[in-house]
A and B are shown apart, each in its own frame.
Chain A
Amino acid sequence: MPTFDIALLLSGQYHDWLVRGLVLSLQIAATTWVLAVPLAIVIALLRLAPVKALRAVGAAYVEGIRNVPLLAHLLFWYFGAPELLPEGLKQWLYAGNVEVVSAVVALTLYTAAYMAEDIRSGIRAIPVVQFEAARALGFGFLATMRRVILPQALRVTVPPLISQTLNLWKDTSIATVIGVAELMYQAAKVESATFRSAEAFAFATAAYLTVSLAVTGLAAWYHHRYPARTV
């Protein structure tokens, strides 16, 4: 087996490919996160709404998304969904970066379903008397959530949300299946160009691990700095 050529990873064309892939992975993860969190809050509130029909919609969303693998979601949003769009919109989409858009849509919907469950658990952990006290003061459901419940639930919810962020980071790798040129795609591309699988995958492994450990470290710091305060 040829020796491990670290120079390959530090400069040159292949290094550039890998770095570009890493940057795209980070961008996709960040964009998805920014879109998924608000969506997750909406879904969580739907599932806790006093109206049964709204609760059913929320539950259907979560169960429908979570029981289908991310790969199938990506295949659907890349191959299937654009077909349904009106012609003008479809042309505009294909002219741009349809792979990345499909990936972000699929990832956002997928991640939001999981985050919604964590947020819902966080809200349900707040004693119901808090809710009752706010209602007694005259706040409606949404106002209660916004002013009283969610601020408290946040502290409980941050650790599982950080865990979901970790999952999101790792899930960006699956976008490779629809041709998104993120880190995993680039690593495979370097491998097929140079046959140096060890170097290419060492870079990718190190990149994934570094970000993962950084996120885990953030979780540990948060837990240390803001331990859960119970009454």
Chain B
Amino acid sequence: MIELVQTYWVYFLIGQYPNGPLGGLALTVLLAALALVLALPLGVVLGLARISPFRAVRWPVTATVYVVRGVPLLMVIFWAYFFLPSVTGHKTDQFSTMLIALVLFDGVYLAEIVRAGILGIPKGQAECARSLGLGYWRTMRLVILPQALRHMLPSLVNQFVATIKETSLGYIIGLTEVSFIAAQINTQVFTRATEVYGLLALTYFVLCFGLSRVAHGLERRLTRRSPVRPASASPTLQSQQASA
């Protein structure tokens, strides 16, 4: 296994770059990060629309959310893959296709996280902001969203982990992300499939587990800072195990 790693580690990490487009693990992380950065504003907009007092805004967005969440991500990728060229006029490359599919898919999931985050802010905050004379948008922008986004940070990191895993579907449309590269390596080496795919799994594990530990740490820091914590009525196994 060692020579396998030694021979192919560069290809695995960055694909054919600089002799070709960026690929491998670097592409995976880049795609995931870019998708999340673009999906977040979309998520905020959709999340706000989901709690809008106007039915004309709320219903279409809620319907879109239910449709996108009711189909597999692969379906959204195929929509993008087969229909984007006719919409944009020219052939869309795999990276852009995956990016658009991920932004739409993750935007919808983020919308639910944002919605829960906003609804989790105590009612008194909005009341107070409105009492000062701040209108709806200012209240959202200056008081509610800053607090909600801060509380959402662990969920956002978890969503980043989920997005990294979602990039693996780029394999199916030929995007040279890390799973595709692993398959390429496998065809070259041919008789070591177990090792190749075992290493692929290990790579994902290290990356995703590491990030989820970061999310966990963030969550612990956040709950320690806020003085208000609801006391549970009776101790549960959870609190027992925590003190054990």
Interface residues of A (CB under 8 A from B): 1, 48, 63-64, 66-73, 75-76, 79-81, 83-84, 123-129, 131, 170-171, 173-174, 176-177, 184, 187-188, 191, 197, 201, 204-205, 208-209, 212-213, 216, 231
Contacts and interface: CB of A to CB of B under 8 A. Distances in A.
Contacts of A80: 193-198
A147 B196 CA distance: 45
B82 interface: yes
Contacts of B209: 63, 67
Nearest to B196: A80
Given A69-B164, A125-B236, 10 more contacts: A64-B205, A67-B161, A68-B165, A72-B204, A73-B201, A125-B238, A174-B72, A184-B75, A201-B75, A213-B70
B75 A79 contact: no
A183 to B, nearest CB: 9
A203 to B, nearest CB: 11
Given A80-B196, A80-B198, A75 B182 contact: yes
Interface string B101-125: 0000000000000000000000000
B109 to A, nearest CB: 12
B208 interface: yes
A70 B196 CA distance: 16
A79 B237 contact: no
A86 to B, nearest CB: 14
A79 B186 contact: yes
A60 to B, nearest CB: 11
Contact of A67 (B73, B168, B212): B212
Contacts of B67: 209
B74 A173 contact: yes
B143 interface: no
20 contacts: A48-B237, A67-B161, A67-B207, A67-B208, A69-B166, A69-B204, A71-B171, A72-B197, A83-B193, A124-B238, A127-B236, A128-B236, A128-B239, A128-B240, A173-B74, A174-B74, A184-B74, A191-B82, A208-B72, A213-B66
B57 interface: no
Contacts of A127: 234-236
B171 A177 contact: yes
B68 to A, nearest CB: 10
A228 to B, nearest CB: 14
Q: Summarize B's interface: helix, strand, loop or mixed.
A: helix
A126 B74 contact: no
Categorize the interface residue count of chain B: 35 or more
B78 interface: yes
Interface in B150-167: 161, 164-166
Contacts of B30: none
A71 B205 contact: no
The 8 closest A-B CB pairs, nearest first, are A212-B70, A69-B165, A67-B208, A170-B72, A173-B72, A69-B168, A80-B194, A76-B197
A45 to B, nearest CB: 12
A204 B172 CA distance: 17
Contact of A176 (B73, B74, B179, B195): B74
Nearest to B232: A127
B169 interface: yes
A177 B174 CA distance: 11
A131 B205 contact: no
B84 to A, nearest CB: 11
Contacts of B240: 128
Contacts of B188: none
Contacts of A128: 234-237, 239-240
